[in-house]
Structure 1
């Protein structure tokens, strides 16, 4: 004789009478097992989804508009604490070093990992470098603008005869020279496994820095 328990055939010896309560209990246990198995799968999937989400959050990059200027300010703060003050040459070097350090962080991030934008779309190394370039351009424009405004104030007060236009243009060029120099240093140091530290590079001529440093209190403006 054959009977079915929860769709599973069971063969019994002839003359054997099954206990209906027992069969009912076994059927209920089978249903409980199905529910337990289903719930376990759901919990497992939820746990897996959570791990994926946490990993994505970990690999999400928030592109800050102030990361380069913040790093530059930190470097200048260290210079001021060490020397008591800093000049435009230090500002130029700090900007170049900041760019190279942030560039190195970007390269290290993308050695073996994938990162994402805040909206969840993939972020590439090229995207981040492009954003870093924009930050650097804005930083240079800001530094030049501040120097020009200070110089205009000095002209109005009669402290200097005219706007140092040539020095302003040379200052802008110096920032980009610093960027190139520190990127070259970064690549050399990377091959030699040396840390990237501040240098005392002189970009442009010393007369330019003398004129610009006399314009006003640089310490209050830059940091």
Structure 2
């Protein structure tokens, strides 16, 4: 069948239109793929950022000024429930045990993981121990102040002739002795894989505790 030259432009034009539409379609697909890829990367990065933030929140340590005193109060509560009451010897032992338990928690926490402060910066074990030492110093001041205030009240009421200054100083020394002894016990217990329990140690002398225990209702002051 004869073919006219005039037929060619028709077929060429149709092919051109098809190719142009195909190229446009491919261009749109490529653009859609780029957008999809970009969005996927953004979602992936957001997911990673969320995981990082959640991990930091999970490993965030908020250092409470009442943490050590709460630990000591919990130990004394157990003593009171068991014995009905407690004296200054129990208070001294509870302070030493509370320090050792919190120290052990810090060491366990920093064995294999990193922890952070509330502002997101790294919190080291040394910083936590320094903070714990400061809290213990404040606990010693608190216990000594409670005893001094109670003694002043007893002097005012005429129940004791004078302030037990010597006993108050001995109380401070006993509290620091308790800290050292319970830390030694903690390290020995850790080596043997044993838990740390309250002991009935006598720090200082018996006369100091006799004087301090007569100062008032200890249960309401510690």
> With structure 2 as the length reference, what TM-score do the two structures score?
0.91
**Match among 11, 15, 18 for residue 17 of structure 1:** 15
Which structure has more helix as a fraction of its residues?
A: 2
Which SS does the other structure have where 1:197 is aligned?
coil
Aligned to 2:202: 202
Which SS does the other structure have where 1:203 is aligned?
coil
Aligned to 1:5: none
2-structure distance, mates of 1:32, 1:215 = 82
1-structure distance, mates of 2:25, 2:120 = 50
Could you tell me which runs of 5 or more consecutive residues in structure 2 were left unpaired when the two chains were aligned: 1-11
1-structure distance, mates of 2:167, 2:38 = 74
How much does 1:121 deviate? 1.6
Aligned: 1:67 with 2:70? no
What CA deviation, in whole Å up to 9, does each residue of 1:151-187 have, x standing for no partner?
A: 0110111101111111111111000000001000000
Could you tell me which runs of 5 or more consecutive residues in structure 1 were left unpaired when the two chains were aligned: 1-14
How much does 1:22 deviate? 2.5
Structure 1 stretches of 4+ with a deviation exceeding 6 A read: none
How much does 1:208 deviate? 0.8
In the TM superposition, 1:137-156 aligns within 5 A as 137-156=137-156
In the TM superposition, 1:34-53 aligns within 5 A as 34-53=34-53
Aligned to 1:77: 77
2-structure distance, mates of 1:168, 1:26 = 89
How much does 1:32 deviate? 0.7
Aligned to 2:27: 27
> With structure 1 as the length reference, what TM-score do the two structures score?
0.91
Q: CA RMSD in A?
A: 1.2
